[in-house]
Amino acid sequence: MALPIEPRPAQPGRVLGRVVRRKEDPRLITGTGSYVDDLRLPGMLHMAVVRSPHAHARITGIDTGRARSMPGVRAVITGEEVKDLCGPMPVGWSLQGLKAPVKYPLALDRVRHVGEAVAVVVAESPAAAADGAEAVQVGYEPLPAVTDPEAAMQDGSPLVWDDVPNNIAARFPLSGGDIEDAFRKADRVVKLRLVNQRLVPVPMEPRGVVAQAHPISGELTLWSSTQIPHILHALLPGLLNVPETRVRIVAPDVGGGFGCKLNLYAEEILAGALSLKLGRPVKWIERRSEHFMATIHGRDQINHVEAAVSGDGRILGIRARIIADIGAYHQLLTPAIPTFTPFMMSGVYAIPALDVEVIEVFTNKTPTDAYRGAGRPEATYLLERLVDTVARELGLDPVEVRRRNFIKADQFPYNTVSGLTYDSGDYEGALNKLLEKIDYEGFRRQQQEARQQGRLLGIGFSTYVEICGLAPSRIWGALGAGIGGWESATVRISPAGRVTVVTGTSPHGQGHQTSWSQIVAETLGVNYEDVEVLHGDTAVAPHGLDTYGSRSAAVGGTAVYMASVKLREKARRIAAHVLEATVDDVEFQVVDGQGRFHVKGAPQRHVTLAQVAAAAFTAHNLPDDVEPGMEATVFYDPTNFTYPFGAHACIVEVDPEDGRVKILRYVAVDDCGNVINPQLVEGQVHGGLAQGIAQALYEGVVYDEQGQLLTASLTDYAVPTAADLPSFETDRTVTPSPTNPLGVKGVGEAGTIGSTPCVVNAVIDALAHLGVRHIDMPLRPSRVWAAIQQAKASGGGQPA
Amino acid sequence: MIPAAFAYHRASSVDEAVRLLQELGDDARVLAGGHSLLPAMKLRLARPGAVVDIGRIEGLRGIRRQVDHVEVGALTRHADLAAARLPAGLEALAECADRIADPQVRRRGTIGGSLCHADPSADWPAAVLALEGQLVLVGPGGERVVPAAEWFVAPFMTALQPGEILTAIRFPVPQARSGSAYLKLARKASDFAIVGAAARVTVDGSGRCTGAAVGVTGVGDVPYRATAVEDLLVGRVLDDQVIAEAAARAVEGVDPVSDVHAGAEYRAQVAQVYVRRAVQEALGRALSQPA
Amino acid sequence: MSQDSRVRVRIRVNGDVHEHEVEPRLLLVQYLRDVLGLTGTHVGCDTSHCGACTVLLDGEAVKSCTVLAVQADGGEVTTIEGLAQHGRLHPLQEAFWEHHGLQCGYCTPGMIMSALDLLNRHPDPDEETIRRGLEGNLCRCTGYQNIVRAVQAAAARMRAAEAAAAAGGGDD
Ligand SMILES: Cc1cc2nc3c(=O)[nH]c(=O)nc-3n(C[C@H](O)[C@H](O)[C@H](O)COP(=O)(O)OP(=O)(O)OC[C@H]3O[C@@H](n4cnc5c(N)ncnc54)[C@H](O)[C@@H]3O)c2cc1C
Ligand code: FES
Ligand code: FES
């Protein structure tokens, strides 16, 4: 497409780059939003799921008789019938040698994790469905469970799937550079074993679905609290054996996702299948306790890392073995997520050699999949803990070690040892800005003084780069994705001058209605208020690849921008015709907030965009080769990923008596390229920091040896409240991305990625002089206290 | 999310409640603020056939100052106590109330409900033990009074007999120059206690400790009075050294529990720390009273 | 046993009195959402932790998922739908909008109702008071910082409005 897509400057424009009130908010602050559970349809039935209380068991029989006879119960479905209703659950990623056992939405004869769906009951009310589900009698013969991935790989371990030896689902190697040479040259080898613990996503809106099949036409509309209506639209018709043309997927207001709604779940398939079978709408709303066991978990890696290091703190190479505990079977992207970690393992540093093997292991736990960051936080955690450990072992300053290893600002585009090409960056610039905000030397003095009084203060740093803007379709395909990575946008102007944007992205809190309106208002010279954005309904926005992986701004936003430019070009041609000038002689300009075209050098000879739109619709006087109407559609496939980065610092105080960690300051300098709306960027950073800090200090899934989930509710799984988090100090540098004309990179996950190691580094810094080298997350008071005791007992401390 | 079906009875007097409980038998549960019972019913961990709502019985809510004691009605909500003006020496009641759960829960949950529920990690038991509360019970056989130290029998089990209702807790008004405090360690804000320690200290004109009581929750399988600590405090002038020495005996005779949040060893350690800090705080308050 | 015997309740919600026969097990939040169709009050958990369901009952913030409709009989409930008056947003709603105190919006109704209760008790709260006052409400999107800002801003506006009203001035 030969469009003159000029890159946008980094400076804020009239609307773009500025704070505006969000378009989403009026409905959300007045209680008039529409989430899935708010949907009420005539004749609607309610579904409840019977779930396995065992981690591993054979199903010996299911008695549904009593449930079927309960008042209001309309259907009970078990594994026996499920094969007649739908196909097996798809896996959306392929890896060489991947073991992908067939899995149906209901267990057939064996359950493999606590919470696996065994049967569903459909009834006239939620209460009747719950009563019915309770009445289903399932016989189980417990089998030995395996919950430790390292034990699961051993010969003789119980098998989650009989035909998957050693429970190994896949091995994914990634290497670059000469690793042997690196270790030969090394002055020192620094080793770490890190556990990146399992997390539960916990968006505040649980999952939910309403399926409405029309009994006569066979049309199926499915509302789901999902991030991916388009991907569901690609998958569900085949699974339910309905023509794609008769399926419509709607993502209404969605109350957060964080990756866990980037999936196709058993309940979505079952609700659709049962609505088709019964001819009535079927609703299922996840209870929070179900969320803990039946929605994907995140992270869960054990990292064995070894770095070859020179005496002056340069990292010459990294060897790592990553054991990813992926749970009992694959959800949509389960196999993909751990493979993202090695790609980002050289981070912001010029590391010449890398040799990693990822081993994905089945265990009797809930499957893992994408959770905010999805493989990248694991890489950053590993690397930033490693860099701090290198500094500590060499007696160097952690800031200095980072500087010595940084990729320099003049080295971009930079080809990493893992095969990526970083688009742009200035890592030292971000770090310098960070250091301006904290008096580092002053803090070190304060730390010394505090130690004299028995107080434990610590500072931690983290400098990170992440990968966004998923994805160039070709690369995505080569990596194993089952789908492309482009995005589409349509921009149209009505005869009355209102602008409608149709986007293939599917927001769930990010504020796309606001951001996309800003892009269009700026580009076309229309009022922000006059732009509306439609999304999340395949009947309205048929083409798109949805919202995840911080792709929306870089790919979806760019598509919106390009569609606006394309539309403006069409308008320019009509304007030239009306003004009786050549197209090249006509310029676009925004005057008093209004877009208009004028003849070069003769601004008085002009028409407004609104006048052009009117002309395009009356069509009385259009150039021969111009169609009536004012609409443009663009499919944009990026040529590269984008690479946001940043530098964070955290200051903590540890109570030596009870091990409590208090964050005294958290300072974040992030660079996400050009900014569409500073307030929304800041909001994303805040939320990301909260989740990253939560991993460092509070959250963690615990299973016992029998595979029972001990953290099965908000009572035992510690999602932090306002009182558990500090106020964050945020700032940014701006390094535009050359990959897209908006110069944007993405910011959805940055805070999460940068903050986790930063907090842990701070705590270790506070305790290092006592001899504490590492503590696995979450750094609960009891763990911190135990680490202090252990260090004291082994006399590992240095003088303060 | 949806409780199993039950029959609902609203009692308008203690007598009616007692009568209803007798009629309905084992299958019935008393409903006060509902903030322990309803969550359990929603998860169907509790499924009573009948519920006797005592929430509207006149006279069971409120704090009354009597000659030698303060009577707190069983239906007095955590929020009421957190905001209450209490005599010197009973500060720990307000402090404890204020650290329970979150503002919404404190608006519904009652002190009586918490004491009858007897969660081994609940906050009230520590304060009620340290302030030597007397629990007033009314049952088919009339009224009886049980001292706090005899109330907690086992996890989630108390000396409450079938058919009885807890109507009030009486707290003796401490002597002059008394102070009390409640301190709590939780995993995060608004959580149950990993360790909760309440202390009351009375000193004489010379600063010598003439009385002390320490209640500990979250550590053992039932909340308890740390009598070994008390014994080392009474009769001595309390300096940091003495307090630390006493607090070191905070878990004497107790088997600290282990769970997802903290191990036994940690609980034992932190119990000592929090008992020490609570005694120090209580002492400070006692000393600030006029002699 | 008369297990499914329904109970008559009379509850004033956002100023209007409603009377219904309800199952005793019906939770107040279900009464609001399913019986009255007031779906602005959300459900985010089944253990009384998240606060998404917070409403005012007789002027005080409560978790409506942990109150039976029969317990609210005779009471007065205010939900998020009852906050804006005559098409004008409440200062808290304005402030959440202005200060980006919400992202996905799911926690927002409960958060605003808790904040309202907080400001009723503490018209001029400091940051710590706000953070503690919102302990019963989880938000997974915002990291709470802009919520705190919004509550501070609303408090200032409400105090100013009050002062103006006391001085006999306008209402804003
Ligand atoms: C989210 C959440 C967080 C919480 N956090 C904490 C915390 O940090 N610390 C803490 O201590 N507690 C906490 N709690 C528990 C809370 O304090 C409860 O309110 C309290 O335990 C029970 O009081 P209630 O009036 O609600 O009792 P109910 O739930 O009504 O009753 C509890 C039990 O006691 C019985 N009962 C109640 N009153 C009487 C009576 N007068 N006579 C005889 N029997 C009676 C009932 O039959 C029932 O078995 C929390 C609760 C929730 C929901
Ligand atoms: S729904 Fe979570 S507290 Fe009420
Ligand atoms: S805005 Fe999404 S949970 Fe608070």
Strands A456-465 and A645-654: antiparallel
Q: What letter would DSSP give residue B122?
A: -
Q: Where in chain B is the domain with CATH 3.30.43.10?
A: 7-52
pLDDT tens digits, B87-111: 999 999 999 999 999 999 999 999 9
pLDDT tens digits, A533-566: 999 999 999 999 998 888 989 999 999 999 999 9
Q: Check pLDDT > 80 for residue C1.
A: no
**What pLDDT sits at residue A7?**
76
Chain C residues contacting B via beta carbons under 8 Å? 1-5, 7, 23-25, 27, 30, 43, 46-48, 51, 54, 60-63, 65-68, 70-71, 114, 117-118, 132-133, 135-137
Phi-psi region of B35 (alpha: psi -120 to 50; beta: other; left: phi over 0): alpha
Q: Which domains does chain C have, with CATH numbers?
A: 3-81 (3.10.20.30), 91-165 (1.10.150.120)
Chain A contact probe: residue of B188, B240, B272 with most A CBs at under 10 A: B188
Chain B neighbors of A780, CB-CB under 8 A:
187, 261-262
Q: What is the mean pLDDT of residues B62-91?
A: 96
**What pLDDT sits at residue A370?**
96
Residues having CB within 6 Å of any atom of ligand 1: B 29-37, 39, 54, 74, 100-101, 105, 108-110, 112-114, 116-117, 122-124, 160, 165-166, 191-192; C 48-49
Report the C-alpha gap between A668 and A688 in whole angstroms.
Answer: 11
pLDDT tens digits, A117-126: 999 999 999 9
Q: Check pLDDT > 70 for residue B127.
A: yes
Q: Decide whether any atom of ligand 2 lies within 6 Å of the C49 Cβ.
A: yes
| Topology (CATH level 3) of domain A486-636 | Aldehyde Oxidoreductase; domain 4 (3.30.365)
pLDDT tens digits, A58-77: 999 999 999 999 999 999 99
| Nearest Cα residue to atom 3 of ligand 3 | C139
pLDDT band at B261 (very low <50, low <70, confident <90, very high): confident
Of A21, A28, A38, the CB nearest to C39: A38
Closest approach of A287 to chain B, Cα-based (Å): 7
Q: Check pLDDT > 80 for residue A3.
A: no
**What pLDDT sits at residue B63?**
97
CA distance readout (Å), A181 to A306, A321, A353, A390, B208: 14, 19, 9, 19, 73
- Closest ligand 2 atom to residue C66 Cα is 4
Q: Check pLDDT > 60 for residue C2.
A: no
**What pLDDT sits at residue A448?**
97
Chain C neighbors of A728, CB-CB under 8 A:
143, 145
- Closest ligand 1 atom to residue B29 Cα is 47
Q: Check pLDDT > 90 for residue A10.
A: no
**Main-chain phi, psi angles of A17, to 5 degrees:** 90, 5
**What pLDDT sits at residue A133?**
98
The bound ligand whose nearest atom lies closest to the alpha carbon of B135 is 1
**What pLDDT sits at residue A468?**
93
Closest approach of B144 to chain A, Cα-based (Å): 35
Q: Are B110 and B75 in contact (CB under 8 A)?
A: yes
The distance from CA B95 to its chain's CA centroid, rounded to whole angstroms, is 12
Question: Any idea which of A253-257, A375-379, A413-417, A481-485 has the lowest mean pLDDT?
Answer: A481-485
Q: Decide whether any atom of ligand 3 lies within 6 Å of the C103 Cβ.
A: yes
**What pLDDT sits at residue B189?**
81
Phi-psi region of A659 (alpha: psi -120 to 50; beta: other; left: phi over 0): left
| A42 interfacial to chain C (CB closer than 8 Å) | no
Q: Check pLDDT > 80 for residue A164.
A: yes
pLDDT tens digits, A723-756: 999 999 999 999 999 999 999 999 989 999 999 9
3-state percent breakdown (helix, strand, coil) of chain A, nearest 5: 30, 25, 40
Q: Tell me which chains share at least 3 CB pairs under 8 Å with chain B.
A: A, C
The bound ligand whose nearest atom lies closest to the alpha carbon of C63 is 2
Of A784, A764, A785, nearest to A774 (Cα)?
A: A764
pLDDT tens digits, A84-94: 999 999 999 99
List the helix and strand counts (H, then E) for chain B: 10, 14
User: ipTM exceeding 0.90?
Assistant: yes
Work out how many CB contacts closer than 8 A connect A with C.
Answer: 177
Closest approach of C155 to chain A, Cα-based (Å): 17
Chain C neighbors of B2, CB-CB under 8 A:
25, 27, 30
pLDDT tens digits, A291-307: 999 999 999 999 999 99
**What pLDDT sits at residue A1?**
41
Q: Indicate the top mutation candidate among A204, A261, A684 to test ligand 3's pocket, ranked by most ligand atoms within 8 A of CB.
A: A204
Spell out the alpha helix ranges (H) of A156-228. Answer: 179-185
**What pLDDT sits at residue C4?**
56
Domain chopping of chain A, boundaries: 36-143+206-254+261-294, 373-465+645-793, 486-636
Q: Check pLDDT > 60 for residue A760.
A: yes
- Averaged pLDDT of chain C: 95
CATH 3.30.465.10 fits B63-172, yes or no: yes
pLDDT tens digits, C57-106: 999 999 999 999 999 999 999 999 999 998 899 999 999 999 999 999 99
Query: What DSSP assignment string belongs to A586-625?
Result: EEEEEETTEEEEEETTEEEEEEEHHHHHHHHHH-SS--TT
**What pLDDT sits at residue C159?**
95
Closest approach of A130 to chain B, Cα-based (Å): 7
Higher pLDDT among residues C166 and B224, named by residue: B224
**What pLDDT sits at residue A496?**
87
Q: Check pLDDT > 90 for residue B225.
A: yes
Residue C52 CA, ligand 2 centroid: distance in Å: 5
Question: Any idea which of A154-158, B131-135, B204-208 has the lowest mean pLDDT?
Answer: B204-208
Domain B7-52 -> CATH class? alpha beta
Q: Decide whether any atom of ligand 3 lies within 6 Å of the C150 Cβ.
A: no
- Averaged pLDDT of chain A: 96
Tokens of A768: 């290092």
Could A29 and C89 be called an inter-chain contact, meaning their C-beta atoms sit closer than 8 Å?
yes
| B188 interfacial to chain A (CB closer than 8 Å) | yes
Handedness of CA B188, B194, B195, B198 (dihedral sign): positive
Report the C-alpha gap between A579 and A190 in whole angstroms.
Answer: 72
Closest approach of C101 to chain B, Cα-based (Å): 20
Q: Check pLDDT > 60 for residue A4.
A: no
Query: What DSSP assignment string belongs to C87-115?
Result: TB--HHHHHHHHTT--SS-SSHHHHHHHH
Q: Decide whether any atom of ligand 3 lies within 6 Å of the C35 Cβ.
A: no
Whether A36-143+206-254+261-294 and A486-636 share one fold: the answer is: no
**What pLDDT sits at residue C65?**
98
**What pLDDT sits at residue A800?**
42
Q: Indicate the top mutation candidate among C45, C80, C141, C148 to test ligand 3's pocket, ranked by most ligand atoms within 8 A of CB.
A: C141
Q: Are A670 and A466 in contact (CB under 8 A)?
A: no
Q: Check pLDDT > 70 for residue C169.
A: no
| A698 interfacial to chain C (CB closer than 8 Å) | no
pLDDT tens digits, B150-160: 999 999 999 99
Query: Rounded to two decimals, what is the model's pTM?
Result: 0.97
Could C132 and A723 be called an inter-chain contact, meaning their C-beta atoms sit closer than 8 Å?
yes
**What pLDDT sits at residue C168?**
75
Q: Check pLDDT > 70 for residue A529.
A: yes
pLDDT band at A625 (very low <50, low <70, confident <90, very high): very high
Q: What is the mean pLDDT of residues B176-197?
A: 94
**Main-chain phi, psi angles of A47, to 5 degrees:** -110, 140
What architecture is domain B178-286? Answer: 2-Layer Sandwich (3.30)
Q: Check pLDDT > 80 for residue B73.
A: yes
Q: Which helix (H) or strand (E) holds C146?
A: helix C145-166
Could C23 and B7 be called an inter-chain contact, meaning their C-beta atoms sit closer than 8 Å?
no
pLDDT band at A796 (very low <50, low <70, confident <90, very high): low
Chain C neighbors of A287, CB-CB under 8 A:
46
Question: What CATH number should be reported for the domain whose range is A373-465+645-793?
Answer: 3.30.365.10
Q: Decide whether any atom of ligand 2 lies within 6 Å of the C138 Cβ.
A: no
pLDDT band at C171 (very low <50, low <70, confident <90, very high): very low
**What pLDDT sits at residue A9?**
76
Residue A262: strand pairing partners: none
| B201 interfacial to chain A (CB closer than 8 Å) | no
Q: Which helix (H) or strand (E) holds A791?
A: helix A781-793
Q: Check pLDDT > 50 for residue B266.
A: yes
What architecture is domain A36-143+206-254+261-294? Answer: Alpha-Beta Complex (3.90)
Report the C-alpha gap between B34 and B29 in whole angstroms.
Answer: 11
